[in-house]
Structure 1
Amino acid sequence: MLRPSAADAEWSSVDLPHDWRLGMTPSPDHQHPKDYAKAWQGFFPTGVAYYRKLLSLDRGPPGQRTSITFDGIAGFSDVWFNGFWVGEMASSYSPLSVDVTEILRAGDEGPNVVLVRTDCREAEGWWYEGGGIHRHVWLDTWSEIHAVSDSLHVRTPVADRERAAVAVQVEVLNESPDEAKIGLVTVVKDPETGQEVARTNTDSRVSVSSCGMVTLATEVQISNPKLWQLGKGGLYTLEAHVVDVVSTHFGVRTIRRAKDGILVNHQWTKIFGANLHQDWSVFGVALPDRVIEQKLELYAELGVNTIHSAHHAPTRELIDHADRIGMLLLLENRQFSTASSSLEQLRWLVRRFRSRPSVFLWGIENEEMDYQGTRVGAGILTRMVKEIKSLDPDRDTIFGGVVAFDDKSYYSITDVVGMHYRSFFGVLDVAVDYVQDKPHVLDEEGHYASVRGVYQYDKERAHAGSFSHLGEVMMDTPEPASNAALMPPDFNITGNIASDLTTAYTHPKVSGTFVWTALDYIGGPIPLRWPATTTSYGSKDLLGLPKDYYWLLRSLFRRDEPLVHAFPHWTWPGREGESIPFRAYSNCEEVEFLVDDVVVSRERVNTGLVVVLDGIKYAPGKLVARGYKDGKAVAEHRQVTAQKPARLMVDTDRSVLSVSTGGNIDVAFLRIAVTDEQGNLISNAANRIKVTVKGEGYLRGTHNGDPSTDNYTCCETFQAFNGFIGAYVASGSSPGVMTVSVASDGLVGVEVDILRFAVTVIPASTIANKEHISNTP
């Protein structure tokens, strides 16, 4: 494994990032950790995998140093370089950087061999965590006198429309054999033009001994700065010139606490938040940068202004995109411990992201029930708060609390009181009155399971429906599962999801709420049993397609946009004359229902939900739900009875891709629907659909959004689930045209839609002295 040999052909070639577990078939028969629910990891197998890379490197100019940085390796990992064991990491979510300067081979000494062992047999979380090298890998070079990694810290102690004071601090390490004198030059560039807007030089040079470190600090003034804003972003670039140049993005903005929201640049807003897991459909946990962007775009479309990275550090690429689009972030620490390795991971998290304008809150722990409210837990929490404040005095701290109300002192340790499911359990008023001198945030709330296009609980497929009762969803489930839209009246938890979330997001003493969750994610299925492999908590499925529940959240997050969404669909062959249970989500005052232009019901909206108690008699044709405010029609939802399946319809999120280079592929998403001749969705269609790609690109994967599927890998033909499949296509390494066609033998008179992708070169942003490590033969 340490040198090239005849056995090299036994290795499989893969591209990084890579998740080997997603290519395996989930099964309840796989081995899992003791006392750990198999369903939590989606019934995927665990195990040990090795990755190897041959690297030809130059030694570089005298004094150059070289390291390899792994942004994330699933489970427990060990790294060897040319036979030397050089490092380990016991978390999937923290980076591992190894300096290989003295042991690298250059020129005719032969290629360098990087060997990585990944072990995911023990779980770190209770969700699907993937396997392998699932984040980017970087080859870094720097001079002997250089800025310490992640030490550049940018603050804006003064930030208004007239002036910004930008405080800069950076640590410099001297790894040369001699004492050196160094200075600091800082340059600020405009977020739109890239032009220099401010510069400062330190008057004196500072001496730093061999193997010594010094901290340099300065302040830059910006006149009439452009403010970073919610939903808009607005970034400056700061360059710190020492010997090498290090840079970071930052934003000029202020965030202050308020009991009923937050003040961003002195403007009040409520936190309309949502939790986010890192995985996604055909990629598992190894997401291309574009897919990370796509997921944030889905959140922004919903009306989310803040994301909670549940329950670990996110990728750097997610932070980058949140900065660009003006999305706030609550970043959560993974390991609640004062062990040296855990504290080091916490320090890394804070140091790396403390300068970013999107980051406004540090989450220290999540549902550590064994320790919340205890002396030991209080000691750990206090120590971790001190660590954070020593590195970042500007941002607040929070923890995800589910303890009983018997230890006020534990809640008082962090700046913000974090609460889970207080509205769900009907005790929100008690919770916010318990600790009255601090702002409150529901960092998890909702807990609603449903499957797109499913209305009643399907026991065989383990599908929760939009009309499911909690008791039904819990059938044959060893642990409690989820509330759904309705519950038995004698159940001791709040009645339905609409009133729960309406209370949570509008409560006058709550700064904001994070719904669990906006998107489905792999693992943690509800109900907690086979064949479910994906959770159903999201308002959208793993294709990003909305469920009925999505429209409830949108009506809450975008209250200034009148909305009505009626469900179920209006295609029920064989049920003519039957009464169909009907509901609607709306932020209007009343909703009127019409069948073929005849009013059949008009109902008041009650905390976002309309229930037609007697249902609506089904007759093929047109159903309209019309929303009213102040007696005027302001919103409408139309549904038409679909005829027989006739064609496929395709749309895509992008038409131009960049050439895939350096271990980062560019992708586009295709949504493929089975419709009748007029384009009406066939809501129960299960046709097998073939996706073919020709030219400069390839099919990256297909999925149908079914949470009980056992197939997440790439295949050309995939069965539709309730009318849809989705496909990701990736660009190749050369400019050109990619042609995508879709077809289904099961449809009569199908039209084949052809989409053309002009694959053009779009320069990526450059990172000085840094490059991807991609293929791993």
Structure 2
Amino acid sequence: MIKIPFSLGWERAIGQSKEFWLGNDNPRVKVDLPDDFIINQPRTAEAVGGASTGYFPGGRAVYTKCFEAPAEWSDKTVVLDIDGAYMNAEVTMNGEALGVHPYGYTPWQLDLKDAIIPGEKNELEVVTRCIQPNSRWYSGGGLYREVSLWIGEACHIRPWDIAVTTAKVRDSHAVIHIEAVVTNESEKDAQGTLQIRVGETKASLPVKVAAGSTRKMESDIEVVGPVLWSAESPHLYHLELELQTNLGTDHSELPVGIRKIEIDAKNGMRVNGQPVKLLGGCIHHDNTLLGAAAFPRAEERKIELLKTAGYNAVRCSHNPPSEALLNACDRLGMYVIDETFDCWRVGKNDQDYHLYFDEWWQRDTEAMVRRDRNHPSVFCWSVGNELVEAGGMSKGVELAGMQADFVRSLDPDRPVMAAFHSMIKTKREKDKPPRMPFAAASQKNDSEKGGSEEVMKRMADPAVFEKMIENIATNNMGDGFVNGEDVWGEISEDCAAMLDIVGYNYLPKRYTADAKKYPDRIICASETHANNTYDYYQAMMENSNVIGDFIWTAYDNLGEAGAGRVLRSVQDMASGMLGAWPWLSCYQGDFDLDGNRRPQSYYRKVMWQKDDGIHLFAKPPQYTGRKSQGLGWQWSDVWKSWTWPEAYIGKDIDVECYADCDTVEFILNDEVVGTAPVTRFKAEFTLPYQPGTLKVIAHKEGRITAEDTLITAGEPKGIRLIPDRKEIRADGMDLCFVKVCLVDGEGEIVPTDDLEVTADVEGGNLAGFGSGNPCTDENYGTGKRKLWKGQGLICLRAPMEPGKITLKVTGKGFEEELEIRCS
């Protein structure tokens, strides 16, 4: 079948529905997909989803597209392909109700043949509803992924009816196995041939399909001298299928990768015979300033950035991703854990997927596997995350087994996992309370004793407060043992036995013990804390049964607001795990909302032995001597800046740098001020602040290996615009990301947080304007933003016609203009 883009030229109306006889007077606006109708709506402290959704509202949106269907489609098969609609979507064609789809993250295909009117104008309507609270993170809403039409003959091969696997890999040749289901929707029998081509290799199969039936075709194709796919060398072949029958000729094509993946507890993971440790990160589905809109270029940019930071794997948390993201992972080289659900029967929010699980899990799982099974980047399926049922409640063991077996029936070649954390418990039995793998606090520590006023007074002491937070974070690192008894292992082992890989969320202390207790268990560290990343990484490297370490998170996301914040006072803790208004993002990622690398990203790449440089950062001087405490997901609040208020001149300031070396030499304004040893790839030093240049030199085994500097910026003199590309496609879908920087006369970034700038665009569209600021009351969609640390990010959307986009950014007397070619 031929794929036709169908994302442009829609109308959208936002608002609640009315009784049908009253009509619908919600105003319509023209939109092009992908479209997240939530992202530009005002955020408020009273939003129902609260910090979980970044204080964004929910809502309802109706999308309408009118189009002429060619007369020749009268004898064609027409399939509507919605890659993602959030959520509770309904589709109507020419007034005919075609179906509903509750889950917002799985793709959905509908046959339009009986509803479409060839040769006339047709109206397609899609209703989407984002009823909060339905998510633990920012979901967005609407037709936020691409929409397409597939056109085929009466006898055809549907896009999800092709399965390609690597049957054999040798140095000299490889064999790939191809299955294709031929569907004959006509009233005549079909006969002819199926031509298959992979590279220069061809095969031909005779085809006979009775009227109104299907037939599965299979073929083994030998590829001589294969170039294998891996994250390090992501080579793709082009597969073509041509079905020639008396009913017409139908074409199919897709990229495929040839690779051999082996995983076991003794030897770990091997790709094409080579050992691989997964240096992974968890990512949510949003694209920050674009909301949930899954533009192919935005998804590609995210994977590009993660590759530059040393990642070789991502976990799609906690839902199937867009196909655009998987395409990027195939092309660029990134291993993927493809995950279905964040809950099963027991929900985590009133309106989440638990309401639909029993009726829909099989259809949604099938949609994910059948769409994604030909992507070489996908090495593993996950059927859930942090499931309440993992301890046996609500028939959790049975559910795990059913889902794992169903996935294997669709794809027997990939392993199946689910991610467990320590917060599970058994079902309640008569005269017995539920068993939980952690001990209740038996007594308060000294800082918590006494009346509330007395406790609050003691907590005002930074040392006392930091000790309390340290205790909380330590308790979050439990190992599941209670009074010497392995409660977690006992209550989770039946559910774990249903899986090929067991995901461990925040359970590093179990890796070695479980290698002995469960010698055949393959472990994936499916979520790990940033603050203890060294310990997690070393534990993975020391245990062959642990195939990878996935940091939470690799890229900052909207919602889960403030979970990665540094806690400075009792007031910071008042809102609990998440941050109070106006926190916007989780602030846990290695990249901020703009795609700038945060300090932990530099540390991790050094730790992974992928960076032989040194990277210098300074802590804001008001926090000198204070620990950067949090709940485990935080990082030291240091910045790549040596520009601080004059009031701090002469006062101590803490700095730290990351490098694989023995010692670091610190030089301030050409004078050596001291040295510091490097422990766990980090050196820390305190010195009096003086404006100018702070330089560090890394020494290893008696030689200089790297240098880095921080320079005090002068007064702001202008705005610099830095595009990621100077030319983009004039297809209505391509994007250009433009970094906005406030600079001094020497081009140094001036790290101010209070300069508001405005963007004006001609010849294209302003798709988004944001900053890396994780805690702001600003709204998207206004065309303006305050710079954060002197920086912001603009996203431009290409027009349909060749030409140029002109961007002008102004603010506080500064103005800069940029032109982007569109061809």
What is the TM-score when the length of structure 1 is the normalising length?
Answer: 0.84
In the alignment, structure 1 residue 255 sits paired with structure 2 residue 267: no
Structure 1 pair 586–699 and aligned structure 2 pair: CA distance change class (3 A): same
Alignment-derived partner of residue 215 in structure 2: 214
C-alpha separation in 1, matches of 2:658 and 2:70: 62
C-alpha separation in 2, matches of 1:119 and 1:48: 4
Alignment-derived partner of residue 436 in structure 1: 519
Once the two structures are superposed, residues 319-352 of structure 1 have per-residue CA deviations (whole angstroms, 9 ceiling, x without a partner) of 1111111111111112646734211111121111
In the alignment, structure 1 residue 532 sits paired with structure 2 residue 532: no
1:258 deviates by 5.2
Structure 1 pair 716–78 and aligned structure 2 pair: CA distance change class (3 A): closer
What's the secondary structure of 1:532's corresponding residue? coil
C-alpha separation in 1, matches of 2:780 and 2:279: 34
Answer yes or no: is the 8 Å Cα contact 1:498–1:609 preserved in 2.
no
C-alpha separation in 1, matches of 2:26 and 2:404: 51
What's the secondary structure of 1:233's corresponding residue? coil
Answer yes or no: is the 8 Å Cα contact 2:43–2:779 preserved in 1.
no
Structure 1 pair 586–708 and aligned structure 2 pair: CA distance change class (3 A): same
Answer yes or no: is the 8 Å Cα contact 1:559–1:587 preserved in 2.
no
1:567 deviates by 2.5
Once the two structures are superposed, residues 538-587 of structure 1 have per-residue CA deviations (whole angstroms, 9 ceiling, x without a partner) of 11111001222221122123445343333333222221111112222333
Matches within 5 A, 1:183-262: 183-189=193-199, 197-202=200-205, 204-206=206-208, 208-242=209-243, 243-257=249-263, 259=265, 261-262=268-269
1:382 deviates by 0.9
Alignment-derived partner of residue 515 in structure 1: 551
- The amino acid that maps onto 1:44 is F
Matches within 5 A, 1:1-40: 10-32=27-49, 38-40=50-52
Answer yes or no: is the 8 Å Cα contact 2:390–2:495 preserved in 1.
no
1:173 deviates by 1.6
Residue among 418, 422, 430 paired with 1:399? 418
Answer yes or no: is the 8 Å Cα contact 1:591–1:628 preserved in 2.
yes
C-alpha separation in 2, matches of 1:143 and 1:383: 36
Larger RCO (CA under 8 A, 6+ residues apart): 1
What's the secondary structure of 2:525's corresponding residue? strand
Aligned-pair Cα RMSD in Å: 2.4
C-alpha separation in 1, matches of 2:597 and 2:371: 34
Structure 1 pair 624–501 and aligned structure 2 pair: CA distance change class (3 A): farther
What's the secondary structure of 1:103's corresponding residue? coil
In the alignment, structure 1 residue 138 sits paired with structure 2 residue 206: no
Provide runs of 4+ in structure 1 moved above 6 Å. Answer: 5-9
C-alpha separation in 2, matches of 1:47 and 1:578: 51
Once the two structures are superposed, residues 373-403 of structure 1 have per-residue CA deviations (whole angstroms, 9 ceiling, x without a partner) of 4581111111111111112121111111114
What's the secondary structure of 1:201's corresponding residue? strand
Once the two structures are superposed, residues 146-171 of structure 1 have per-residue CA deviations (whole angstroms, 9 ceiling, x without a partner) of 11340101111112331011111111
Structure 1: tracts of 5 or more residues without a match? 33-37, 190-196, 449-495, 761-777
In percent, how many aligned pairs have the same letter? 25
Alignment-derived partner of residue 769 in structure 1: none
Alignment-derived partner of residue 699 in structure 1: 766
- The amino acid that maps onto 1:642 is A
Once the two structures are superposed, residues 246-282 of structure 1 have per-residue CA deviations (whole angstroms, 9 ceiling, x without a partner) of 2221111111125575211111221110111111222
Answer yes or no: is the 8 Å Cα contact 1:520–1:536 preserved in 2.
yes
C-alpha separation in 2, matches of 1:181 and 1:377: 48
Answer yes or no: is the 8 Å Cα contact 1:261–1:512 preserved in 2.
no
In the alignment, structure 1 residue 546 sits paired with structure 2 residue 582: no
What's the secondary structure of 2:39's corresponding residue? helix
Residue among 620, 624, 634 paired with 2:705? 634
Structure 1 pair 292–523 and aligned structure 2 pair: CA distance change class (3 A): same
Structure 1 pair 690–375 and aligned structure 2 pair: CA distance change class (3 A): closer
Answer yes or no: is the 8 Å Cα contact 1:551–1:565 preserved in 2.
no
Structure 2: tracts of 5 or more residues without a match? 1-12, 244-248, 346-356, 423-487, 563-577, 620-640
Once the two structures are superposed, residues 6-39 of structure 1 have per-residue CA deviations (whole angstroms, 9 ceiling, x without a partner) of 989942211111111111111122345xxxxx21
1:180 deviates by 2.7
1:723 deviates by 0.9
In the alignment, structure 1 residue 618 sits paired with structure 2 residue 686: no
1:718 deviates by 2.0
Return 317-326 or 336-345, whichever deviates more.
336-345
1:439 deviates by 2.5
C-alpha separation in 2, matches of 1:745 and 1:62: 60
What is the TM-score when the length of structure 2 is the normalising length?
Answer: 0.79
Instruction: Number of aligned residue pairs: give it.
Output: 683
Return 329-338 or 306-315, whichever deviates more.
329-338
Matches within 5 A, 1:82-121: 82-107=94-119, 111-121=121-131
Answer yes or no: is the 8 Å Cα contact 1:161–1:226 preserved in 2.
no
Once the two structures are superposed, residues 210-239 of structure 1 have per-residue CA deviations (whole angstroms, 9 ceiling, x without a partner) of 222211111111111111132331111111
Once the two structures are superposed, residues 126-150 of structure 1 have per-residue CA deviations (whole angstroms, 9 ceiling, x without a partner) of 1111111111111222222111340
Alignment-derived partner of residue 193 in structure 1: none
C-alpha separation in 1, matches of 2:44 and 2:97: 35
In the alignment, structure 1 residue 384 sits paired with structure 2 residue 403: yes
C-alpha separation in 1, matches of 2:79 and 2:521: 44
In the alignment, structure 1 residue 418 sits paired with structure 2 residue 486: no
1:435 deviates by 2.4
1:361 deviates by 0.8
C-alpha separation in 1, matches of 2:539 and 2:65: 50
- The amino acid that maps onto 1:399 is A
Structure 1 pair 284–211 and aligned structure 2 pair: CA distance change class (3 A): same
Answer yes or no: is the 8 Å Cα contact 1:740–1:756 preserved in 2.
yes
Answer yes or no: is the 8 Å Cα contact 1:87–1:96 preserved in 2.
no
1:535 deviates by 1.0
Alignment-derived partner of residue 308 in structure 2: 301
